[in-house]
Structure 1
Amino acid sequence: MAIPNPEFHYEVAIRWSNEDRAYVAEVPDLPGCMADGSTYAEAVENVELVMRQWIETALELGRVLPEPKAGLVPN
């Protein structure tokens, strides 16, 4: 099933993990949606892929996508 084309505006939190020795990127609005990378850019690239897969799976299962919550920067 293809993901609908609208843009999704979910906040991504990125932190360095000393334990994993990697950057960890997490999407708080999508439970369990996270990825890591050896660089900041790699973590962002990886979490974008995982986010698309998370959304695709949710839609295939007939679940309603959570609305993105307000982030740190007001609209």
Structure 2
Amino acid sequence: MGTVDDRQVIEVAPGYTATIQRRERWWIGWMDEVGGVNSQGATREELIDNLGSALHEALEMK
């Protein structure tokens, strides 16, 4: 298995946090408060943008 960086918890939107980590060449992450919202990106910034979009879509569906 490749390099795995330590997990980080970040705020994606007010009141919503995500756990993110680097896995080999990808960044992966998931929302802590909203099950099923997860994403990946080639960069940390891309992952954060993707998570924000996924969160927005999930909240619209509620």
When the two structures are superposed, what TM-score results if normalisation uses the length of structure 2?
A: 0.71
Alpha-carbon deviation of 1:8? 3.9
Aligned CA RMSD, in angstroms, stands at: 1.4
Map 1:45-64 to 2 at 5 A. 45-58=49-62
Aligned length: 50
Question: In structure 2, what is the Cα distance between the partners aligned to 1:17 and 1:29?
Answer: 22
The share of aligned pairs that are identical, in percent, is: 18
Which contiguous aligned blocks of 4+ residues in structure 1 show a shift greater than 3 angstroms? none
Secondary structure of the structure 2 residue equivalent to 1:12: strand
State the Cα deviation string for residues 10-38 of structure 1 (Å, max 9, x = none).
Answer: 111111123xx310121011001011100
Match of 2:20 among 6, 14, 33: 14
Matched residue of 2:60: which SS? helix
The answer for the alignment partner of 1:37 in structure 2 is 41
Name whichever structure is richer in strand by fraction.
Answer: 2
- Higher radius of gyration, 1 or 2: 1
